[in-house]
Amino acid sequence: MQLLAGSSRSAARRPSAVEAPAVSRISGRPACTAARRASHVQPARVAHASTPATERANGNGSSPTQGSPLGSIDGFVPQAGLTANLLLQCPDQKGVIAAVSQLLYGFGCNIVSSDQFTDSISNQFFQRITFDFSEIVIGPGNTAVLERAIGELASRFRMKWKLAYKNKIKRLAILVSKQDHCLYDLLIRHRSGELRCEIPFIISNHPDLKHIADTFGVPFHHMPIDKSSKDSQEKAIEDLLAKEQIDVLILARYMQIFTTGFCERHWEHTINIHHSFLPAFEGARPYHRAHERGVKIIGATAHFATAELDAGPIIDQAVSRITHRDSVDDMIRKGKDLERLVLARAVRWHLDDRVMVYNNKTVVFED
């Protein structure tokens, strides 16, 4: 289920002096209204203890850090295009938007765009902020101080958060089997500049699509699999992911089921395209089963690949009308068009930090 997001825009100017950021105690939405109404502020304390490093090192040799628990990138020194995406999730309460806006303002950051959504059923608040930190008062090379301040603010509001610098290009790996349509589409979109990422390699359990990888100049790794080699094949995949410092794993019609352990380690950054409108017709041969059932709509679903087959949080879906005249081959042809579009959108949104997961559902701040 995809939740709809509202949108607002606000801006922060650089303060005249270097000082600890002020955080509002009074709330309201939108942020600009809260800032005007806030009459009592308390300074945010800046922590001096470093945050534990997790996950892989960034390109400059520093390590990303874990905010509670979505994480942030600590120690990374941006050099160009000084903008970042900040994702927030916390119980809905007064003061959140005002506090975050004033914190960024206090550091001299400029909010370029802001989108937020409140789920009234779960009482959860979600926000995505894009901000420019080219004039940050502590200097663009000292973003760790900003991250610690965000961490302290997060503890006040019981907030999960993630900070991603936009000039840190994500590295994406593609897994395929024998179907080529999604692979072609992703590689063409990447070559045209539509997908902002690096693609260091392609993995397949069959050799059939190596010529496509060769055409686009992407290294191709053939890793055959059977029941006796499943564990060793997954180990080889994970070793390659770690070696190449992969951020996102795309299953572009990869027709193998990962073990529970692999899914638990990687589901948050693994996107699968399933050729049906889930939760209908999960598993194998969905077009054939849809034809037997006589459906009037078929679809495609991009979702995170959790241990439960085709049941992970859904990122995007699309459908197409079917009539009694459509054969299975007709449905497959129409379905492939949907698969290309849905997977490309999901990948683009994920690369741009627009997807947030909660309770096996997603909030997607669409572009």
Rounded-to-integer distance, Cα 186 and Cα 46, Å: 43
Q: Closest Cα partner for 351 from 193, 157, 213?
A: 193
Radius of gyration for the chain, computed over Cα atoms and rounded to the nearest angstrom: 22
Q: Closest Cα partner for 73 from 90, 56, 48, 97?
A: 56
> Which of the following is catalytic: 115, 185, 247, 310?
310
Q: Which residue shows structure tokens 């002096």?
A: 17
Rounded-to-integer distance, Cα 1 and Cα 362, Å: 7
Q: Closest Cα partner for 159 from 82, 76, 72, 75?
A: 72
| Residue 310 a catalytic site member | yes
- What DSSP string describes 132-192? E-TT-TT-GGGHHHHHHHHHHHHHHHT-EEEEEETTS--BEEEEE-S--HHHHHHHHHHHT
**Angle ∠(173,351,271) on CA atoms, nearest 5:** 55
Who's near 68: CB < 8 A, 6+ residues apart? 151, 154, 155, 159, 160, 161
- Can you name the residues that pair with 89 across neighbouring β-strands? 126, 160
H/E stretch holding 91 reads strand 83-91
H/E stretch holding 99 reads helix 96-106
Helix or strand or coil: residue 255? coil
Q: Cβ(28)–Cβ(94) under 8 Å?
A: yes
Q: 268: left (phi > 0), else alpha (psi -120 to 50), else beta?
A: alpha
Rounded-to-integer distance, Cα 61 and Cα 41, Å: 38
Residues annotated as catalytic (active site), given as ranges: 310
